[in-house]
Amino acid sequence: MLPADQATPQPSLRRTAQTTALERIMKSTVDIHTEKQPAPASVLFQSGRPKINGMGTGIIIDERGYIVTNHHVIDGVQSIQVTLEDGASYQARVFNSDKMTDLAIIKVETPAALPVMPLGTSSDLMLGEDVLAVGNAFGWKHTITKGIVSAIGRDVELNEEQSYKNLIQTDAAINPGNSGGPLVNADGDVIAINVAIRAGAQKIGFAIPIDDARLEIAKLMSQKNPDVFHGLSTIDHKKGTDRKLIVRSVAPNSPAELAGVKPGDVIEKFGHTSIVDSADLERTLLGRSIGEKLDLTFRQSDQVKTASLSLVMNPRGNRLPQQQYTVAKPAPAQPAAGVQQPNANVAVPASDKSWEMLGMRLTPIPNGVKTLANQHYRGGLLVTEVRGTSPAESNGIRNGDVLVGLHVWETAKQEDVDYVLNQQDVKSANPLKFYILRDGETLYGHFQISSPTVVGRVQGTEAK
């Protein structure tokens, strides 16, 4: 029998899959400390103006220092300090945020690339499965708590100003300071972003499903990078381990179409970034320049293809509002209810280029009227008459449509249309792209103004 000091050592039972998973997620979780000035009334009887300290948590979503957290963590603050797991601290700035979804992206500049949070999915959650919450609980940095998924699909009204849809409920302890931090599964993949607690309750916390959050993250990134155009409109497909970014539509003559991408293709890699969803696609574009070329890898039917895609200036530029475009079928011209028709015998003013060249009469409508409700347009031109066999008629434009853009310009008044049509380079832009608002949806098409032949009709989906 061997002496005790020569016996074969037994493997440690301390290192488990859970501890290994935590090592991954701790490195990509950050603690957030904020400062802001209090409201004047709160310091009325105090000397000076002491600052209010705030705390929260963030998740690293890109190695260049982009971090997601909650909007309420950084709302109205004067300074944001981010602390990494190794203790290094950096000043951060707000990149973009949205109060409605209570999500925000902040940015830090670091000398080295940061570890990105392992991405999971909220599409296959199981009631009772183990979860871990990591956060800056009451200022105690990188605190870990454990619980289960208590419920899914919770709608929570926090107060009169803030409500949430489709939250995950957990009994993992979520405290003040946990906001913006990760809720992860047993594999160490983030499945949600912690957001709220139930006042006065114990073991009731809520988190935003990561699949919902990633859609908003993509939108927040796209809003800050409006000039770069690739021509892809995509769908996040997530069903358990089946996760992919599917092409919904491709804009005509766009870089994506020139690269050979078609609807139904799956985007697998863009540049050096492996693509799982639209947030990956949008973060790849951050910091890119017009004219820059990136290799795009996509799966088409059973073939994997790679093509060089050159980024171009967004044809809408900064002069047309950013908006998601949706598909609609063109319809024959017909009077819209309540639209007064002009007298066809009235002479057309010399300045009415829209009638002469496009075949439609227009009346300005200001922003704020019902037709433009919940839209981002600053105005538009109501179509009140369409001339037969004209470019407008051939493109399916009808009475009651609202012209909101022509070429790369907004069209809030007749002079805007005249300006575009009077440009020396208008023929070089032929066919001339137009944007109309119909039943709350923005549609686009192309006018062929140099000949009676029309090359397009009201068309489908366009995205950046």
Distance between CA 191 and CA 193 in Å, rounded?
Answer: 7
- The tally of domains found in the chain comes to 3
Q: Is residue 416 within a helix (H) or strand (E), and if so which, with residue range?
A: helix 414-421
What average pLDDT score do residues 422-430 get? 63
Distance between CA 171 and CA 169 in Å, rounded?
Answer: 7
Rounded (5°) CA angle 186-18-275: 50
**Is the domain of 200 the same as that of 252?**
no
Kindly indicate the confidence band of residue 240, based on its pLDDT and cuts at 50, 70 and 90.
Answer: very high
pLDDT score for 313: 79
Peptide bond into 335 cis (omega under 30): no
Cβ 226 vs Cβ 219: under 8 Å: no
Residue 185 clears pLDDT 90, i.e. is over it: yes
- CATH, residue 214: 2.40.10.120
pLDDT tens, residue by residue, 140-153: 888 999 999 999 99
Residue 443 clears pLDDT 80, i.e. is over it: no
Beta pairing class for 140-157 and 163-170: antiparallel
Cβ 221 vs Cβ 286: under 8 Å: yes
**Is the domain of 214 the same as that of 232?**
no
Secondary structure letter of residue 292 according to DSSP? -
Domain that residue 256 falls in: 225-313
Domain membership flag for residue 445 = yes
Kindly indicate the confidence band of residue 315, based on its pLDDT and cuts at 50, 70 and 90.
Answer: low
pLDDT tens, residue by residue, 12-29: 778 888 888 888 899 999
Burial of 445 (0-12, 13-18, 19+ CB in 10 A): buried
Among residues 174, 109, 106, 122, the alpha carbon closest in space to that of 145 is found at: 174
Indicate the residue among 188, 222, 256 that finishes a domain. Answer: 222
**Is the domain of 31 the same as that of 175?**
yes
Catalytic residues, by residue number, are: 72, 102, 179
Residue 8 clears pLDDT 70, i.e. is over it: no
Among residues 89, 135, 87, the alpha carbon closest in space to that of 110 is found at: 89
Indicate the residue among 192, 222, 252 that finishes a domain. Answer: 222
Helices marked H in 139-190 — which ranges?
none
Question: Does residue 370 or residue 226 have the better pLDDT?
Answer: 226
pLDDT tens, residue by residue, 51-62: 678 899 999 999
Residues 6+ apart with CB under 8 A from 232: 247, 250, 251, 254, 256, 261, 267, 281, 463, 464
Domain membership flag for residue 232 = yes
Domain membership flag for residue 5 = no
**Is the domain of 217 the same as that of 229?**
no
Question: Does residue 25 or residue 161 have the better pLDDT?
Answer: 25
**Is the domain of 135 the same as that of 194?**
yes
Domain membership flag for residue 66 = yes
Largest CA distance in the chain: 115
Residues 6+ apart with CB under 8 A from 157: 163, 164
**Is the domain of 206 the same as that of 80?**
yes
What average pLDDT score do residues 28-51 get? 68
Distance between CA 168 and CA 149 in Å, rounded?
Answer: 7
**Is the domain of 233 the same as that of 217?**
no
pLDDT score for 452: 37
pLDDT score for 208: 96
Structure-derived torsion over alpha carbons of residues 320, 323, 329, 335, reported in degrees to the nearest 10:
-60
Q: Among 82-86, 106-110, 347-351, name the one with the lowest average pLDDT.
A: 347-351
**Is the domain of 359 the same as that of 291?**
no
pLDDT score for 42: 46
Domain membership flag for residue 399 = yes
- Residues β-bridged to residue 106: 67, 94
pLDDT tens, residue by residue, 263-284: 999 999 999 999 999 999 999 9
**Is the domain of 341 the same as that of 327?**
yes
pLDDT tens, residue by residue, 129-143: 999 999 998 888 889
Among residues 304, 294, 265, 277, the alpha carbon closest in space to that of 211 is found at: 277
Domain membership flag for residue 82 = yes
**Is the domain of 329 the same as that of 301?**
no
Cα within 13 Å of Cα(238), Cβ side: 19
Kindly indicate the confidence band of residue 38, based on its pLDDT and cuts at 50, 70 and 90.
Answer: low
Read out DSSP for 188-248? S-EEEEEEEE-TT-SS-EEEEEHHHHHHHHHHHHHHT--SEE--EEEEEEEETTEEEEEEE
Q: How many CB atoms lie within 10 A of CB 454?
A: 20
Indicate the residue among 207, 222, 237 that finishes a domain. Answer: 222
Cβ 40 vs Cβ 185: under 8 Å: no
Among residues 319, 440, 326, the alpha carbon closest in space to that of 374 is found at: 440
**Is the domain of 279 the same as that of 205?**
no
- CATH, residue 242: 2.30.42.10
Domain membership flag for residue 4 = no
pLDDT score for 197: 73
Domain membership flag for residue 441 = yes
**Is the domain of 195 the same as that of 215?**
yes
Residue 239 clears pLDDT 80, i.e. is over it: yes
Burial of 130 (0-12, 13-18, 19+ CB in 10 A): middle
Cβ 170 vs Cβ 134: under 8 Å: no
Rounded (5°) CA angle 123-127-129: 90
